[in-house]
């Protein structure tokens, strides 16, 4: 008779390979094996080094910021996607909808016009 090995649990980290240059979307999900759970802490390893997080906080929020790492998660996080850039036509329509004559405010119109002008200069 052979006993089945215990399933290994992990804490997960969303990591961008280009983090030093700013997040460029080259994301990977890193797994840190959990070595022990107590009532107050979850112990795990990172590159062979022991570490721990507050169990109550991570279990209540699903994530926690750890001082040596970025944000750690109980479940694998979704890899962020860059939002689609608005076309000039969409920005022009948003600017028209924000016009004070159409029920928008001066501040909304100014912000919409700035977004439109910025996009027009970059294309």
Q: Is the dihedral of CA 9, 29, 15, 77 positive or negative?
A: negative
For residue 77, the model assigns a pLDDT of 92
Q: Report which DSSP code applies to 13.
A: E
For residue 45, the model assigns a pLDDT of 92
User: What angle do helix axes 88-97 and 106-122 make, rounded to 10 degrees?
Assistant: 170
pTM: 0.58
Q: How far is CA 53 from the centre of its chain?
A: 19
For residue 63, the model assigns a pLDDT of 93
CA–CA distance, 115 with 53 (Å, rounded to integer): 42
Count CB atoms within 10 A of the CB of residue 29: 14
CA–CA distance, 110 with 92 (Å, rounded to integer): 12
The rounded average pLDDT for each run of 10 residues, N- to C-terminus, in the chain (123 residues) is 67 75 69 95 90 94 81 90 77 89 88 89 78
CA–CA distance, 51 with 86 (Å, rounded to integer): 43
For residue 38, the model assigns a pLDDT of 95
């Amino acid at each position: 008779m052979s006993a089945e090995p215990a399933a290994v649990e992990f804490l997960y980290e969303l990591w961008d390979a280009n983090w030093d240059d700013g997040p460029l979307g080259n994301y990977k999900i890193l797994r840190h094996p959990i070595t022990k759970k107590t009532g107050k802490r979850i112990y795990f390893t990172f590159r062979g080094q022991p570490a721990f997080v507050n169990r109550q906080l991570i279990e209540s929020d699903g994530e926690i910021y750890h001082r040596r790492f970025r944000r750690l998660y109980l479940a694998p996080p979704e890899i962020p996607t860059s939002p689609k850039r608005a076309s000039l036509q969409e920005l022009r329509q948003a600017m028209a909808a924000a016009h004070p004559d159409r029920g928008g405010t001066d501040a909304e119109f100014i912000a919409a016009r700035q977004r439109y002008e910025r996009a027009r200069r970059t294309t």
